[in-house]
Amino acid sequence: MKNDFCTLIIALAIIGCGARLASAAEPLPVYILAGQSNMQGHASVTTLPHVGMDPATAPLLAEMVDENGTPRIHPNVWISSIGNTGNEDEIHGPLTIGFGAGNSKDKLGPEWTFGIHMQKHVGRPILIIKTAWGGKSLHTDFRSPGSGVYEFRPDEIARLKSQNKDVEAEAQQRAAQSGEYYRLMMQHVDKVLADIDRVVPQYDAEAGYEIAGFVWFQGWNDMVDQGVYPNRSQPGGYDRYSLMMAQFIRDVRNDLDSPELPFVIGVFGVGGPVDDYGPSQQRYVSTHQGFRNAMAAPTSMTEFQGNVAAVLTENYWDVELAELKARGHRKTAQQREQLFTPRELEILQGSSNAEYHYNGSAKIMAQIGKGFADAVANLSMNKK
């Protein structure tokens, strides 16, 4: 009888311990990445070796590839992504190469190093939900509910009339387009969260999940749209973007039922800091800096203090790579061999796309992704 009693006590202790362990399980952190083509990512796998050429970024490459240069698969970071192919086709699985733009499965965006470093910050498995489409604006495509539908200003109506356009038809079309990609973004987030097991095999439904951060990386289509921002080269020319960005943050938090959700704005930084612009770039200084200021403006609003941050992606611009590309512009392969040293030719392999896609550089994308993760982690600390 004594032995039976001891066995019962041990069994109850084990059950109690198991219950404590179960109750101690932490929710799965979920991070949402959204934006346009640079959030998609146009850096080819062929540019990865360039990451290792710089001692400052070589440690990032070691986390991305193994000793043979093969892209690593990160079993503690799961991702579901739509928009890669330009539509709503989903790709999901453990984080590795291939979650960038297009169908080739050999491109990367900021999601790769974001996932690596975000997982390090939290110390447990994480889920990334990425929704990004190329060529989309905040003023129309990602326009959030609180901003209402896009309405033409008097000067826009006058321009449409001068072009013999049907103003009413144009207005109806723009109204239909308003917020289309905001809605697609939220629909995909809801879809993934409703069935996390489909994406994260080891998901603990009892522990649940927590929306732990949101990163926004967009800008080109708004920055170059003179119709929407007619005074873009003047002070305050992009104030409308700031107002819509602030409303976007509010609406995202409301729709995700997370009023203090850490929110990071990736400030568009192609070309690097404007203070470093050369003579041929001076004509862009006012618009580029004006737009960057407008993107970051919500961080100075009282309601967003300590819970919204801006990452200046201009700080990750690769000046050397850009200068070499400019020097070799429109040169033949034979001319390049004569123009560049072997090392410079190797550096040039670090570009796989156009300047507005950060030269399709894995070195730039890797730094941006880590910068986003560090910013979210800092905001999360403030939240605690």
284-340 pLDDT per residue, tens: 999 999 999 999 999 999 999 999 999 999 999 999 999 999 999 999 989 999 999
Say what the pLDDT of residue 6 is: 43
Distances in Å between the alpha carbon of 163 and those of 157, 166, 176, 318, 375? Answer: 10, 9, 21, 42, 46
pLDDT digits (tens, 9 = 90+) for 174-199: 999 999 999 999 999 999 999 999 99
Classify residue 205 by burial, with Cβ atoms within 10 Å: 0-12, 13-18, 19+: exposed
pLDDT, one tens digit per residue, over 11-47 is 433 334 333 333 358 999 999 999 999 999 999 999 9
Under the banding of pLDDT at 50, 70 and 90, the label for residue 88 is: confident
Q: Which residues pair with 358 in a beta bridge?
A: none
Residue 97 CA to residue 291 CA, distance in Å, equals 31
Spatial neighbors of 236 by CB under 8 A, at least 6 apart, are none
Pick the CATH number of 28-144+179-383 from 3.20.80.10, 3.40.50.1110, 3.40.50.150, 3.40.640.10: 3.40.50.1110
- Cβ-Cβ contacts under 8 Å for 63 (sequence gap 6 or more): 72, 113, 116
Q: Please classify residue 271 by burial: count the beta carbons closer than 10 Å to its beta carbon, then call 0-12 exposed, 13-18 middle and 19+ buried.
A: buried
Please tell me the predicted confidence (pLDDT) of residue 123: 97
pLDDT of residue 366: 98
d(CA 30, CA 25): 15
Give the residue from 162, 185, 291 showing the smallest Cα distance to 231. Answer: 291
What confidence tens digit (pLDDT) does each residue in 113-159 have? 999 999 999 999 999 999 999 999 999 999 999 999 999 999 999 99
Helix (H) or strand (E) holding 211: strand 209-217
Confidence of residue 3 (pLDDT cuts 50, 70, 90): very low
- Helix boundaries (H) for 25-141: 37-40, 48-51, 58-64, 111-122
Amino acid residing at 115: G
Q: How far apart are CA 213 and CA 29, in angstroms?
A: 8
Please report, as a single letter, which amino acid is at residue 53: M
Express each pLDDT in 51-81 by its tens digit.
999 999 999 999 999 999 999 999 999 999 9
Cα first-last separation, the chain: 51
Q: List pLDDT tens digits, range 213-224.
A: 999 999 999 999
* Chain segment 339-381, per-residue pLDDT in tens: 999 999 999 999 999 999 999 999 999 999 999 999 999 999 8
| 114 HSE (CA, 13 A, CB side) | 35
Residue 29, beta-bridge partner list? 210
Q: Tokens for 100?
A: 């960038």
Q: Tokens at residue 25, please? A: 């399980």
pLDDT in tens, 153-175: 999 999 999 999 999 999 999 99
- Maximal CA-CA distance, the chain: 99
Q: How far is CA 297 from the centre of its chain?
A: 18
Helix (H, G, I), strand (E, B) or coil at 35: strand
CA distance 359 to 352: 6
Q: What pLDDT is recorded for position 144? A: 98
Strand order in the sheet with 90-95: 90-95, 74-82, 126-132, 28-35, 209-217, 263-267, 308-312
Phi and psi dihedrals of 89, rounded to 5? -65, 130
Backbone angles phi, psi at 141, to 5 degrees: -60, -45
pLDDT tens for residues 210-254? 999 999 999 999 999 999 999 999 999 999 999 999 999 999 999
Residue 24 confidence (pLDDT) = 58
Q: Decide: 277 and 285 in contact? Cβ < 8 Å.
A: yes
pLDDT in tens, 254-276: 999 999 999 999 999 999 999 99
Percentage with pLDDT > 70 across the chain: 93
The domain spans of the chain are 28-144+179-383, 150-176
Q: Which residues pair with 131 in a beta bridge?
A: 34, 82
